[in-house]
Amino acid sequence: MVSFFLLSNVFALAQTRNQVDQTYLYLYTSKIPEFKGGELGLVRYLKKNLKWPNTDIDTRGTVILSFVIAADGSVKNVKVEKSLSDEFDNEAKKVFSLMPKWIPGKVGTKNVAVKMYFPVSFYIDD
């Protein structure tokens, strides 16, 4: 049986500024972006859409992605920060690139772009 272990901890840090700059990429916010449906919704989305890239590969490990949740909630600039292999990296990137919009992060009452990190662990359930 093939399973995916997904760490549902999405990292975003919190920072505020006196003036909100829409061209500034925030690592710290007063409210972090949230997947619609919360963590449970994110896990459901990933379980439904994330596929084992090649059944001939017998490996396990984690791909760490970084991405930006734009001020409009869209997922942009998905990058691999820690690679497992090209096939696993590409699968994780594809699924995150096709995600529906999130509830954007905020500084005060303004929606802002926030850089996020997410570990996606692949393993075969014995």
Whole-model pTM: value is: 0.78
Which of 36, 26, 35 shows the shortest CA–CA distance to 110?
Answer: 26
Model pLDDT for residues 12-58, shown as the tens digit of each residue = 443 444 444 456 777 778 899 999 999 999 999 999 999 988 778 77
If one counts the domains in the chain, the total is 1
Which one-letter amino acid corresponds to residue 23? T
Mean pLDDT for the chain?
83
pLDDT band at 126 (very low <50, low <70, confident <90, very high): low
- Which is nearest to 102 in space by CA: 17, 12, 1? 12
Give the separation between CA 116 and CA 100, rounded to whole angstroms. 16
pLDDT on residue 23: 60
Domain that holds residue 8: 2-124
Angle at 19 between CA 15 and CA 25, to 5 degrees: 50
DSSP letter (8 states) at residue 6: E
